Amino acid sequence: MSSQRKFFVIGNWKMNVDKARIDNIVKFMSAASLDPNTEAVVGCPSCYLSYARQRLPDEIAVAAQNCYKVAHGNFSGEISPAMILDSGCEWVILGHPERRTIFKESDQLIAEKVAHAQQTGIKIIACLCETSEDREEGRTDDVLFGQMKSLASISDWSRVVIAFEALWASNTGVLATAAQVQEALAKLRHWLRANVSDKVANSTRILYAGSVSSSNCRELAQLEDLDGFLVGSAALRPDIVDIINARRPDVSSLIAHFDRPDGRRA
């Protein structure tokens, strides 16, 4: 946890919304008191990018969930960073674990996407993941560092956020402990320090994903190397408000802070 890195939460809607559901999410997010010290973003299906951007408050940014590695051409079903920007959105998620595991996107393809996206000026949420097989076979470091190498083309790290997902703790009934999360994030920050620079290591925000909820977000938000969350299913519910506000002091802590030793309020 660092005061110089603004807390960042992205709620990824995946392929789970239509206009009616977007309107419902917009309603409860707009009505909520969101921590101004948290940068809030939603990951939206490409067909609804403009719709979501028009309806959400300006302080909530919108990200596309994917893009291709070139500006235009005969690539049916793809969208480019330029199209995302033209829709009024400023972020794109690249290398999401579902793109890596279901659609078999390689580190090389993701590297090409990241390189092109960076050239366009769009801001990037670059995803890394660890599978249960990686953990069981002791190859987590090799896998994560290999994925980090695919980001080598990045020249402006101020426009990049890294998101790490423990797939073995995503909708499996198994939760990663705070210690396990901190260990993984610390390794990623160390990689940045060793392979890019101290400045980038100190300033780049690293997120965690893996069954983040309103019940565990406050504990995780205090970790030294954690700067926010990439949220899945909870992003579709009012829980996302609690996660965005994970670092805002709750009422009980404020009361305790202002209580005097004699039991009277200050």
* Span 86-103, average pLDDT: 97
Q: Record the tokens describing residue 4, joined without a space.
A: 């110089």
Q: For residue 261, tell me if it sits in a domain.
A: no
Which amino acid, one-letter code, is at 70? V
Residue among 98, 133, 165, 183 flagged as catalytic = 165
Residue among 39, 96, 98, 105 flagged as catalytic = 96
Count CB atoms within 10 A of the CB of residue 43: 24
Nearest-5° Cα angle at 191, 186 to 197: 110
* Span 182-195, average pLDDT: 96
Cα–Cα distance between 208 and 226 in angstroms, integer? 7
Number of separate domains in the chain: 1
257 labelled catalytic: no
DSSP state, residue 204: -
- The CATH number assigned to the domain holding 164 equals 3.20.20.70
Amino acid 170: pLDDT: 81
Amino acid 199: pLDDT: 97
Q: For residue 262, tell me if it sits in a domain.
A: no
Amino acid 260: pLDDT: 47
* Span 168-195, average pLDDT: 90
pTM: predicted TM-score of the whole model, two decimal places? 0.92
Q: For residue 1, tell me if it sits in a domain.
A: no
Q: For residue 263, tell me if it sits in a domain.
A: no
Cα–Cα distance between 7 and 161 in angstroms, integer? 11
**pLDDT over 80 at 252, yes or no:** no
pLDDT band at 250; cut points 50, 70, 90: confident
Q: For residue 83, tell me if it sits in a domain.
A: yes
Domain range for 202 is 7-256
Q: Record the tokens describing residue 71, joined without a space.
A: 């500006």
**pLDDT over 70 at 266, yes or no:** no
Q: For residue 102, tell me if it sits in a domain.
A: yes
Q: For residue 28, tell me if it sits in a domain.
A: yes
Q: Record the tokens describing residue 108, joined without a space.
A: 């090389």
Cα–Cα distance between 22 and 203 in angstroms, integer? 33
- Comparing 178 with 4, which gets the higher pLDDT? 178
pLDDT band at 168; cut points 50, 70, 90: confident
Q: For residue 265, tell me if it sits in a domain.
A: no
Cα–Cα distance between 41 and 90 in angstroms, integer? 10
User: In sequence order, what are the residues at sequence separation of 6 or more whose Cβ sits closer than 8 angstroms to the Cβ of residue 236?
Assistant: 11, 13, 16, 17, 21, 25
Amino acid 81: pLDDT: 98
165 labelled catalytic: yes
Cα–Cα distance between 144 and 141 in angstroms, integer? 5
Amino acid 257: pLDDT: 45
